[in-house]
Amino acid sequence: MSKQNIYKDTLNLPKTKFPMKANLAQREPNMLKQWEDSGIYRKLRDQAAGRPKFILHDGPPYANGDIHIGHAVNKILKDIIIKSQTLGGYDAPYIPGWDCHGLPIELNVEKKLGKAGVKVDEKTFRNGCREYAARQVAGQKADFKRLGVMADWDNPYLTMNYDFEANIIRTLGQIIDKGHLHKGSKPVHWCTDCGSALAEAEVEYEDKTSPAVDVRFKAVDRQAILDIFSAANGSDKPVNAVIWTTTPWTLPANQAVALHPDFDYVLVETDQELLILAEELYPSALQRYGVEQSQILGRCKGSQLENQLLQHPFYNRQVPVILGDHVTVDSGTGAVHTAPGHGQEDYVVGMKYDLEVDNPVAANGCFVTGTPLFEGQHVFKANPLVLEVLQQKGALLHHQDLLHSYPHCWRHKTPIIFRATPQWFISMDQNGLRQLAIDAAEHTTWLPDWGQARIEGMLENRPDWCISRQRTWGVPIALFVHNETQALHPDTQDLIEKVAQKVEQAGIDAWFELQPAELLGDDAQNYSKVTDTLDVWFDSGVTHACVIKQRDELQFPADLYLEGSDQHRGWFQSSLLSSVAVNDMAPYKEVLTHGFVVDAQGKKMSKSRGNVVAPQKIMKTLGADILRLWVSSTDYTGEVSVSDEILKRTADAYRRIRNTARFMLANMDGFEPQQNSLEVADMLPLDRWIVVKAEFLQQEIIGAYEQYDFHQVYQKVHNFCAMDLGAFYLDVIKDRQYTTQVDSIARRSAQTALYHIAEAMTRWIAPILSFTAEELWGFIPGKRDESVFFDSWYAFPPEIQDEMDDAYWQKVLAVRVACSKEMEKLRVDKTIGSSLDAEVDLYCDDELRALLEKLQDELRFVLITSYARLHKLSDRPADAVDADDVNGLAIQVKASEHNKCVRCWHHREDVGSDSEHPELCGRCIANVSGQGEVRHYV
RNA sequence: GGUUGGGUAGCUUAACUGGUAGAGCAGCGGGUUUAUAACCCGUAACGACAGAUAAUCGGCUGAUGCGAGUUCGAGUCUCGCCCCAACUACCA
């Protein structure tokens, strides 16, 4: 041992300060501080000035709550793209944003301040919201930064910034100018106790007992119905369609009876009448009515009855039969009472048939003045009265109470109703927006490509976009409408600009506090301010106008939007519609989506399931780079699984990459690229080969980045580290690195190769393992910029035509694998330990022998054996073993009988040939006290 | 209920227009101590079965969520089913 140490000092063992243990959780925050202190994002912009632009436009997360792993995936993917595009030579600015208005924030502020307009005035409430949102943004921003996301964090866009708010209003003006605005009414959830609309989130479902009634609607043209059913009937019994409802109070607003176009309906004769019922339901219905005797007179499809008129049960009104796919045969009669003012579905189908959206119910839940029979009655109290009236009119066929799930107000716990209220819409059809949007979607690249079918399906079927909300914390629909006619003020465009200027100065309060006379003068008495606010999807949908077009460094349209697949319904669509409405084109050229994060079983994450993985926890334990590497390792176009095992595997892969890099650095100890690197032509063929291999790989990696196929990058880099480098190249060059002389060509050649690979590989991983790459960057020898991100993909030295090309080395590798298998047999026998304890004799056919002869003495180094001798295949002894996967090769392995050189561990004949160094082989003697061995072959 | 996708080894992923299911990691078994909180070599594909052999191996069967179909041949095409996810609707 002591003697060995003498020679150990003559070896060039690996040496580096680059730590083996990553300690990411501790190290990353320091790196972040360094980046922040040096203003890396701004410097990056300066560096990239003048390059072609790549604009990835950030979709704003909602400013509420801590970021979850889905946010992390989204931001990391964006960051990988931004960084890879930057390394690819683009100027890729990244402006992060937040969505700041809206209900969830209101609800949280309400908990602290109380209800706006009740416990606290609206201005104070809005201020509370603004402060709350700002705090949320700050919290989320800190986490996003911690992920290593490089962005203009000092100048993000917030939808609540005054200029942003002003530009929302201006964009609304443009949409009006283009003729897409439309005022209508729409049923909304309404709490009669609150006297206001409820958002979906404020609705709870609870059981309620309602009167379920079967009601006759008498056919106006009896004969026509008989004809349709092909039913001859001599009697003069009336023909009645029967509807079933649990909300009798909505009958005053009835405008139609809906049937399913494809269902079979029967005309059933009973003692007193002919009933129209769905065939599937008529037995149960008749049973309910207590009818014992009946006969079917005829049947027809629902579609045949379309537009037949029916008599309203108690009003002097005739209503049509309409068709709708929402009609089911689960319960009732197969005929649905339709009141467009009181039901979502009724409203939608009513729009198709141009039915009146009649709403006779006031805000307090009572029938308005002038409602025949029920004026002033509260709707739920009116139910028995309606029944009474139906009874009187002979329209009530059956009544029984029914317990069912029914929407309730979450505050009052009282049943709510659907009530049509005036709302503002962006019309899909009045000025051709739907078709324009579909066309624009066709001109957009959707990744994955099924995104196009998805969004087109949505565009084709979606109703008009209701953009108005009756809320406090939102951008106002800053319009003046005529008190009588409800028409927009003729100077609307001018007024909008004036309002926008005020909002630019003072935020949305400027509108809510505005005295109309200030802008309208005497005309103010004829006009009212609209007090509705905009849907927050409008806010975020118009970032193309409020951000992309406002900031000089950005370009419209954006190259890419990237969000979760839920945003086909959300932001992708709101952005598309609003952009098409004002620009006649999509705001993006390409839309990329990622799936949701699920657990190892593919189940979605939820608190109740207890399978939630918090990004904060991963960053605190494993580090952001592990989280980033995990994101990169997934095919994110589908659902993405995460679990402890998956993260552990990711950490394993990380260590492989890190240690490979570390080993390369350690073997470049004392290497100065300017002085010590060799020309390609002077390098050893093996070293040239690995560099070419790396360059080839780089092309694939760049291609994968361009396709946003990051898991390909991950696989390729990892494979390269594990296989090409770890299992072969780095193992083989150890001998050369350690035992040859410091400044020998043999060693400098390998170091030159390591240098090129380290330069390249650091860049490959930089978009993903940003912290680690930056750390590595400081350890690679040679002069360099402050940050890896200021650089571009590595420019390899020019290739030269090489006799020993990749195909050549693949054959050598196959021989190596065959030898390893044979050596393993001796190792199992404990005949040898290290492969250097072995000598191999290779019996090759002529072709293979010629091939391997080119390696000369290097063959033993490639095989990491003490001797490697070539022979003719015809000379093979009986105990040589045919190689499985190499033709024309038989191998004989035996333990070497020669002494082991204590310095290089090879067993050589010439060990001890020099009495001064009795334990060294000839090669080592030359390296220790002579000129040094020559390892240049070919 | 509807729309759009998805389900390949313990994990992450490959497989061109149908043509031998390919890698890496993990696992298991060894080795090295000159990458050592590291590295190398070998092995290996649900579960199960029977035979031969015991150094070497050959065969059957099964195998891309399940089951059919088309085909000489299916991870890939068709149909049905199960499960998962996003969106959407409904409960009159």
CA of A508 vs C1' of B62, distance in Å? 70
d(CA A280, CA A130): 57
- pLDDT above 70 covers a percentage of chain A that reads 99
**CA A639 → C1' B66, Å?**
22
Instruction: Tell me whether strands A274-278 and A838-844 are parallel, antiparallel or unpaired.
Output: unpaired
pLDDT of residue A445: 95
**Residue A646: exposed, middle, or buried by beta-carbon count in 10 A (0-12, 13-18, 19+)?**
middle
Predicted confidence at residue A3, as pLDDT, reads 47
Q: pLDDT tens digits for A27-56?
A: 999 999 999 999 999 999 999 999 999 999
Task: For residue A228, give the H/E element and its range.
Answer: helix A222-228
> Hey, is A211 helix, strand or coil?
strand
Of chain A residues 220-249, which have a beta carbon within 7 Å of strand B? 243-247
| Residues A341 and A359: beta-carbon distance below 8 Å | yes
pLDDT, tens only, A320-348: 888 887 777 777 788 888 888 888 888 88
Q: Would the Cβ of A101 be found within 7 angstroms of any atom in strand B? A: no
pLDDT of residue A18: 96
**Alpha carbon separation from A396 to A231, A245, A289, A389, A652 (Å, rounded):** 25, 11, 10, 9, 74
Q: What is the torsion angle, in degrees rounded to the nearest 10, for the CA atoms of residue A627, residue A632, residue A637 and residue A642? A: -30
Distance CA A868, CA A15 (A): 30
Q: Which of residues 180-209 of A touch strand B (CB under 7 A)?
A: 205
Whether A738 sits with its Cβ under 7 A from any strand B atom: the answer reads yes
**Cα(A433)–Cα(A298) distance, rounded to whole angstroms?**
45
Confidence of residue A213 (pLDDT cuts 50, 70, 90): confident
pLDDT at residue A154, as a whole number? 97
pLDDT at A380 over 90: no
Chain B positions with any atom < 7 A from a protein CB: 3-7, 10-14, 23-26, 29-43, 83-92
Ramachandran sector of residue A336 (left: φ over 0; alpha: ψ -120 to 50; beta: rest): beta
Element holding A187 (H helix, E strand): strand A181-191
| Angstrom distance, A420 CA to B74 C1' | 56
A901: which nucleotide lies closest, measuring CA to C1'? Answer: B34
What is d(CA A766, CA A787) in angstroms, rounded to the nearest whole number?
A: 10
Enter the tokens of residue A438.
């579909």
Which residues 886-925 of chain A have a CB under 7 Å from nucleic chain B?
Answer: 902-905
Q: Where are the alpha helices (DSSP H) in A507-602?
A: 509-512, 516-520, 536-541, 543, 571-583
| CA–CA–CA angle A33, A38, A41 (5° rounding) | 95
Write out pLDDT tens, residues A134-179. 999 999 999 999 999 999 999 999 999 999 999 999 999 999 999 9
- Indicate if CB(A730) is under 7 A from strand B: yes
Lowest mean pLDDT among A257-271, A472-486, A744-758, A806-820: A257-271
Indicate if CB(A462) is under 7 A from strand B.
Answer: no
pLDDT on residue A802:
85
The stretches of A403-541 forming alpha helices (DSSP H) are 433-442, 450-461, 492-506, 509-512, 516-520, 536-541
Report which of residues A584 and A274 the model is more confident about.
A584
Q: From the CA of A636, how many Å to the C1' of B21? A: 23
Higher model confidence: residue A522 or residue A420?
A: A522
A702 touches strand B (CB under 7 A): no
Exposed/middle/buried for A681, CB within 10 Å: 0-12, 13-18, 19+?
A: exposed
Q: CA of A619 vs C1' of B60, distance in Å?
A: 52
Strand duo A597-598 + A640-641: pairing: parallel
Instruction: Quote the pLDDT of residue A284.
Output: 81
In tens, the pLDDT along A896-922 reads: 999 999 999 999 999 989 888 999 999
Give strand letter and number of the nucleotide nearest A900 (CA to C1').
B34
Least confidently predicted of A354-358, A541-545, A552-556, A804-808: A354-358
Place of tokens 């049937």: A259
Cα separation, A756 vs A784, in Å, equals 14
- In angstroms, the CA A444 to CA A453 distance is 12
pLDDT band at A876 (very low <50, low <70, confident <90, very high): very high
pLDDT at A885 > cutoff 50: yes
Task: Fill in the DSSP letter of residue A472.
Answer: S
**If we measure between CA atoms, which residue out of A531, A587, A504, A556 comes closest to residue A169?**
A504
Q: How far is the CA of A92 from the C1' of B4 (A)?
A: 31
Q: Is the CB of A331 under 7 A from strand B?
A: yes
Question: So what's the pLDDT on residue A1?
Answer: 41
Local confidence band at A248 (pLDDT 50, 70, 90 cut-offs): confident
| A74 band by pLDDT with thresholds 50, 70 and 90 | very high
**Cβ atoms within 10 Å of A187's Cβ, excluding its own:** 25
Residue A256: what pLDDT? 87
Taking alpha carbons only, the member of A804, A811, A920, A909 closest to residue A867 is A909
Percent of chain A with pLDDT over 90: 63
CA at A641, C1' at B49: how many angstroms apart? 36
Which residue lies nearest B23, CA-to-C1' measured?
Answer: A719
Residues 655-674 (A) near nucleic chain B, CB < 7 A: 655-656, 659-660, 662-663, 666
Q: Is the CB of A817 under 7 A from strand B?
A: yes
pLDDT of A936 over the 70 cut: no
Helical (H) or strand (E) element with A652:
helix A644-666
Distance CA A265, CA A276 (A): 7
| Three state DSSP letters for A368-387 | CCCCCCCCCCEHHHHHHHHH
pLDDT digits (tens, 9 = 90+) for A260-296: 877 788 888 888 888 888 887 888 887 888 878 888 8
Q: Which residues fall within 8 angstroms of residue A641, CB to CB, at 6 or more apart?
A: A597, A598, A599, A600, A602, A634
- Residue A936 identity (one-letter amino acid): H
| pLDDT band per the 50, 70, 90 thresholds, residue A938 | low
From residues 395-454 of A, list those within 7 angstroms of strand B by Cβ. 404-406, 448, 450-451, 453-454
What CA–CA distance (Å, rounded) separates A545 from A552? 12
Per the listing, tokens 């009740």 go with A118
Q: How many CB atoms lie within 10 A of CB A522?
A: 7
How confident is residue A222, by pLDDT bands cut at 50, 70 and 90? confident
Is the minimum distance from the CB of A645 to strand B below 7 Å? yes
Distance A634 CA to B1 C1' (A): 33
How distant is C1' of B14 from CA of A934, in Å?
43
Three-state DSSP class for A855?
A: coil
Structure confidence by residue, pLDDT tens digits, A744-756: 999 999 999 999 9
Whether A602 sits with its Cβ under 7 A from any strand B atom: the answer reads: yes
Angle at CA A919, nearest 5°, toward A916 and A924?
Answer: 80
Spatial CB neighbours of A435, under 8 Å, sequence gap ≥ 6: none
pLDDT mean over A631-642: 94
Looking from the CA of A639 toward its CB, the CA atoms found within 13 Å total 11
Joined together, the tokens standing for residue A340 give: 């467009």
**Given this model, what pLDDT does residue A199 score?**
67
Lookup: nucleotide whose C1' is closest to A660 CA: B35
Phi, psi dihedrals of residue A632, rounded to the nearest 5°: -70, -25
Task: Tell me how far apart the alpha carbons of residues A733 and A907 are, in angstroms, rounded to a whole number.
Answer: 18
CA of A923 to C1' of B56 (A): 40
Q: Which amino acid residue lies closest to nucleotide B30, measuring CA to C1'?
A: A828
Q: Which two tokens stand for residue A566?
A: 């839920």
Asked if A529 and A477 touch (Cβ cutoff 8 Å), the reply is no
